[in-house]
Amino acid sequence: MGAAIAGPTVLTPPAMSFGFTEVVLLICAGLWLLHAVQLARLPFRRTWPSFVIVTFGVGTTLAVWWLAPRWAAAVAAGLVLVLLMMPAVLTRAASRALRWGHIDRARTLAWFAFVLRPIAAQRRFRRAVDVSWRLGTGEDVDLDEVVESLGPLTRPERRAYRVAFLSWSNDLSRMAEELSDPKVRALAMRAGMAAITTTVVGETSSDAGLLAHWLRLKKVPELGGGSIDSTWALVLMAAYFGDVALVAEMNDVLKHDIPPDRRAFALATAQQRAGQLEDAVTTVQTAMEGGISVPSSLARLKYRLDHPRPPLREVPATAPAREEIARRLRARRALDGLRRALRRPAPLTSAIAVFLCGVFAWQTTQTRKTVFGLFGLLSPYAEYPDPYRLLSYACVHLDVGHLLVNVLGLLVFGGFVERAFGVARYALIYFVGAAGGGAAYLFFAGDERGVAIGASGAVFAVVAATVLRLGLDGEVRASQEGRRMLTLLAGIVALQFVVDALWAQSSGSAHAGGLVAGLVMALVLLPRPVP
């Protein structure tokens, strides 16, 4: 999502030697610099392997840029950038595998992440995954010895690690004992264990203690819109407050992130707190019959049956807390569609992306003069008065990079808009955006000869519809991640206009025209009032 949106490309002689490859290199250089700044904030003895990778990447790119074609330098930059990002991607994948009980897969991913970035934090993560694997297989483990082997840690950090390991055996009494220290509890909630902490408090505390925990939990950064853990902590809070409908709704939203046993645990808890004891038993039994085989997961569900929570006693502070939890979770739900657009492409978006790739494959069998002469948007319009070109120019692209960046932007934003507005409205936004971008290009080109190609006028219209849909949602604006997402989208648009200023072949007028057309169409076609 952070990449600039390419095109439409205007095939006129550039005023300066700054092409698409240079844009890619500029973006890579900026990300390298950001990575180096982040590393500089940490002790060098912990980060020197990453510094070596950064230095090697910069040196390799400069050498290739000097000795080989520019496209080779861009490829080298991209490969090193992937190498820099891969440990974080592998670590996240390992955490997800661990959450779903795929412990062998988590061990493999953690090992590869450590090989690519052998720093102390990565070593501790790998060690923690190994211990989780042993606990998951039922092996007796001396937790004090394990925590000592993790290296130099503060006392609260040691106790927080014990809590994480004890969660595999569902030893709530020992977990509650460790979390009785406010420093340990605060560290656990900041370190990705907000859900574990909430479960322990919800199972071992009174209703007054649960409300006190909610007041502490509200201070966790990005709560309800950041990590899966913090969002799931909110769902658990809703469960302990007896909000069955909200928990069921969020279970559906998070079905790809949270394992079925945890979703069933939360729903059964909400049903027990709402006095629906028979429904809670049915929920747990259905989950246990669904093929769950991980011992810790079965133990969690059995615990829910053996230790039902009493119905919630309403107090004046309960209703405001429940309302705020619901507001934060609705903001998470609104942003979920944008986050999952690449994982679950929408039908029309996928069809357009496939069509654009198919057209480009056909382009490779023709000369550029033929393709651009037939389908490009030629100026001045008085000499080439072909209305069909206002749409056909968005179907052809200059090169592979031009195509891929536009298709990526379409997949990221198009799926969200298609689901938010509906297929017919989305189609209108896309095609009117393409025509609006083309019309703006022709207007500002005047009598200058040129040809515009590329789908980014339409993609900009889709981006504008995304910004409008999220920006009009009061719950999104009220959440920290919602504001950050809107800022990111505004930054993408601003970055593209900076590229337009530096790259003479990029048409800023077409981008602006698509953006304005998309905003107008989204305002007209917004399917329902947004709170």
Does residue 137 share a domain with residue 174? Answer: no
- Report the range of poorest mean pLDDT among 236-240, 278-282, 406-410, 460-464: 406-410
Mean of the per-residue pLDDT values of the chain: 78
The DSSP bridge partners found for residue 506 are 9
**Pair 315, 211: CB distance under 8 Å:** yes
| H runs (alpha helix) in 206-340 | 207-217, 228-240, 244-253, 260-273, 277-288, 295-306, 318-339
**Are residues 355 and 448 both part of a single domain?**
yes
The answer on pLDDT for 424 being more than 80 is: yes
Q: Is 466 helix (H, G, I), strand (E, B) or coil?
A: helix
Q: Does one domain contain both 177 and 266?
A: yes
- Calculate the alpha carbon distances from 287 to 77, 102, 277, 290 in Å: 47, 18, 16, 5
Looking at residue 530, what is its pLDDT? 46
Rounded average pLDDT over 166-180 = 81
112 within a domain of the structure (yes/no):
yes
Residue 376 lies in a domain: yes
How many CA atoms within 13 Å lie on the side-chain side of 226?
Answer: 15
Residue at 322 is within a domain: yes
The predicted structure's pLDDT at residue 22: 57
Reported confidence tier of residue 266, pLDDT bands at 50, 70, 90: very high
On whether residue 37 sits in a domain, the answer given is no
- The count of structural domains within the chain is 3
In sequence order, which residues have a C-beta less than 8 Å from that of residue 108 and are 6 or more positions away? none
Query: Based on the domain organization, do 116 and 261 belong to the same domain?
Result: no
User: What is residue 90's predicted lDDT score, i.e. its pLDDT?
Assistant: 82
pLDDT tens digits, residue range 307-320? 999 998 877 888 88
In terms of domains, do 167 and 82 share one?
no
Q: Is the pLDDT of residue 341 over 80?
A: no
Query: Dihedral, CA atoms, 491, 496, 499, 504, nearest 10 degrees?
Result: -160
In a domain, 286, yes or no: yes
pTM of the model: 0.66
pLDDT digits (tens, 9 = 90+) for 66-92: 665 666 666 666 666 677 677 777 887
Do residues 259 and 202 both lie within one domain? Answer: yes
**Does a structural domain hold residue 411?**
yes
Higher pLDDT, 50 or 238: 238
Q: Which of 322, 339, 356 is the last residue of a domain?
A: 339
Q: Give the range of the structural domain holding residue 391, as residue numbers without chain letter.
A: 342-525
236 and 105 within one domain: no
Q: What is the CATH number of the domain that holds 377?
A: 1.20.1540.10
Residues 59 and 173 in one domain: no
DSSP three-state, residue 177: helix
261-279 exposure pattern, b = at least 16 Cβ within 10 A, e = fewer = bbbbbbbbbbbbbbebeeb
Of 306, 323, 339, which one is at a domain's C-terminal end? 339
Rounded-to-integer distance, Cα 264 and Cα 270, Å: 10
The answer to whether residues 352 and 382 belong to one domain is: yes
Whether residue 363 sits in one domain with residue 290: no
Residue 531 pLDDT more than 60?
no
Say if 19 falls within a structural domain: no
> What is the tens place of the pLDDT at every residue in 123-157?
777 778 887 777 766 677 787 787 877 777 788 88
Per-residue pLDDT, averaged over 312-336, amounts to 81
Residues 183 and 230 in one domain: yes
Predicted local distance difference test score (pLDDT) of residue 62: 63
Same domain? For 482 and 449 the reply is yes
Q: Which of 97, 117, 148 is the last residue of a domain?
A: 148
Tell me whether residue 8 is in a domain.
no
pLDDT of the residue at 268: 94
pLDDT digits over 183-203, tens only?
888 778 777 788 888 888 888
